[in-house]
Amino acid sequence: MKLENKIVLITGGGSGLGRQCSQLFASEGAKIAVVDIDKDRAEGTVKLVEQQGGTAIALTADVSVEAQVVDAVAATVDAFGKLDVVFANAGVVSRGGVPSVAGGEVVDFQDLTDADWQAVLGVNLSGVFYTAKAAVPALRANGGGVILATSSAASFLAYHSIAMYSATKAGVNGLVRGLSLDLGKYGIRVNAIAPTHGMSPNFLMPAGSPVVGQSYEETAGPWDPGISPIPLKLNRPPSLSDNARAALFLVSDDSAYISGVTLPTTDGGTLSRVGMWFPEDEGTPTLDASA
């Protein structure tokens, strides 16, 4: 078991990748603190972990509020005695989302407000900063550990209508690099994953929506690799599990000497494309936005 006797705190653990990782990490021997702004979702994840024989607790916190993150870390240590891994996974998309996926209306950049900016900045970048900062004392007391963050393919290339989101995720990559230098002396590794495909539709759905538990591609209907924009052609769609297993690698001792890295996950060659279509690409659908 890759995480036997490890204590893991996961923000945004109530749905999507956070829920998938809670279940996967628990199956690998970890005890999980599921942190989410939605109490019911966090408790739902705990039930799933317990049903598979694991141990988890549900904690409610808004990661854009530092004091709430500090309290969540303290509650985790109180419950389990230590902290080995913190996964700063919680994230929100900027207002307007990705209209081609969400079916919403495009919001012109000039019409976005300071409140819109603060909302996405608070969760996606400040939330990672607060989570890492709160975790460091507990990780140092434990002799070291791992900080993992969820970035996005949007930190490397542009997606329509989510410039603010892209900016915050690029900030996560910079934070990861800086913290890897500052915290390495304490035996703390800091990395991020940057999913492209295989992420949850809940990300673009209104708060309180039912947890889907599948990826965009899995919910889109019968899978046909021939019409998928993903260059890698496999006989199944990308899934939440594909991203979760990359996260597992980065929080386990399998990656003991990896730090300061943002790893594109479930990419399937998408990020290898240049910014134009060649003749052999004719008929290829426009890249979907799934991270």
Residues annotated catalytic, as ranges: 165
CA distance 29 to 27: 5
Report the alpha-carbon angle 62-65-71, nearest 5.
Answer: 80
Using CA atoms, how far apart are residues 43 and 74, in angstroms rounded to an integer? Answer: 19
Say if CB 140 and CB 188 are below 8 A apart: yes
Instruction: Calculate the alpha carbon distances from 269 to 20, 90, 179 in Å.
Output: 23, 26, 28
| Alpha-carbon 160 to chain mean position | 20
Instruction: Tell me whether residue 261 is exposed, middle or buried, using C-beta atoms within 10 angstroms of its C-beta: 0 to 12, 13 to 18, 19 or more.
Output: middle
Q: Are strands 145-150 and 85-88 parallel, antiparallel or unpaired?
A: parallel
Report the distance separating Cα 240 and Cα 247, nearest Å.
11
User: What is the amino acid identity at position 3?
Assistant: L
Q: How far is CA 281 from the centre of its chain?
A: 30
Structure tokens at 73: 């870390």
Cβ–Cβ under 8 Å, residues 134 and 69: yes
Instruction: State how far the alpha carbon of 165 is from the alpha carbons of 115, 162, 290, in Å.
Output: 14, 5, 13
